[in-house]
Amino acid sequence: MKEALERIEAQAKTLLEQAQDTKALEELRLRFLGKKGELTAILKQMGKLSAEERPVIGQLANKVRADIEEAIASRAQNLKTELAQKRLAEEKLDVTLPGTHKKLGHAHPLSIVMREVEEIFLGMGFDIASGPEVEYDYYNFEALNLPKNHPARDTQDTFYITENILLRTQTSSVQVHVMENQKPPIRIISPGRVYRSDAVDATHSPLFHQIEGLVVDKGITMSDLVGTLDLLMKRLYGDDCKIRLRPHHFPFTEPSAEVDVMCFNCGGAGCRMCKGEGYIELLGAGMVHPKVLAGCGIDPEVYSGFAFGLGLERIAMRRFDIHDMRLLYENDLRFLEQF
């Protein structure tokens, strides 16, 4: 039995040195030290030994077990070191080599202008509000003083889903949601996508972006509206930029005005771009109609307000001297890389 134990130890050490991975180590451990292993089989025969032989063989068996366990642990550590060295060699990196250039994208011109406008209004104390693009007819039209029989409700201008659900044609609907759920003072802008059944050309698209603004409080006047828009245009186009207001009609504001900005091409002198006017139409604005305030639960005898709406594409086109709206949506890198 002594010779068998010595043979098992010698064989185990030889095989352990040849093991190439942890799986092989585990198989050898089970082969020699497991419940059905070779060492265990030898120990089961201890009962056949004499009383004098048992302590000697038992001590030798414990030594063999300890030696094999130590050999397993040593080989496991060596394998771990070898694996680490192999990975270091395979993953060696020459830090002196030039790096691989990764081409990074940048903000779209519409996003650039949108963020600038948002920052300007946030600086003036406005909040940014959002609302659903799939809207009820009530919020898109009726609550804005546009009853069912109003000419502006022509279904050819609107994408209707059902008789009472549509794709919003303006972000003014967000103003109604805000006024219904928030008491004055209110100072918000509501940027977002809107949809109209327009043919695609240099100045029209069935999908475009609007930025609506709304202020409601006590004592709000037309001069507050003019001052706000004047500051906005100066921040966007420079301190020498001027605006002018022309009387107009919008069902949801009274009085109403079209707002023009001084032509950046001729500085107001008149040119082909502004058709000799010296100014270019940019947005619509006015004082919130009393019916709209009352419909949203705000007393028009106590509160007044102004609202305005401008097209983001139009601002971007003026800002970057773009003459065809389609360029903003065609994803041509030759165009977009200029911004």
The pLDDT value recorded for residue 319 is: 83
User: Average pLDDT, stretch 102-120?
Assistant: 91
| Dist CA 216 CA 168 (whole Å) | 23
Q: Which residue type occupies 205?
A: S
CATH number of 109-336: 3.30.930.10
The dihedrals phi and psi of 93, each to the nearest 5 degrees, come to -125, 125
For 114, the 3-state DSSP assignment is helix
Region(s) of the chain under CATH 3.30.930.10: 109-336
Report pTM.
Answer: 0.67
For residue range 248-261, what is the model confidence (pLDDT) as tens digits?
989 899 999 999 98
Show the tokens assigned to 156.
């050819």
N residues, the chain: 339
3-state secondary structure 275-330: CCCCEEEEEEEEEECHHHHHHCCCCCCCCEEEEEEEEHHHHHHHHHCCCCHHHHCC
Binned at pLDDT 50, 70 and 90, residue 46 comes out as: low
Bridging pattern class, strands 304-311 and 207-217: antiparallel
Q: How many CA atoms lie within 13 A of 110 on its CB side?
A: 18
| Dist CA 254 CA 290 (whole Å) | 8
Q: How far is CA 14 from the centre of its chain?
A: 61
Q: Which residue type occupies 70?
A: E
Binned at pLDDT 50, 70 and 90, residue 201 comes out as: confident
User: Average pLDDT, stretch 108-127?
Assistant: 95
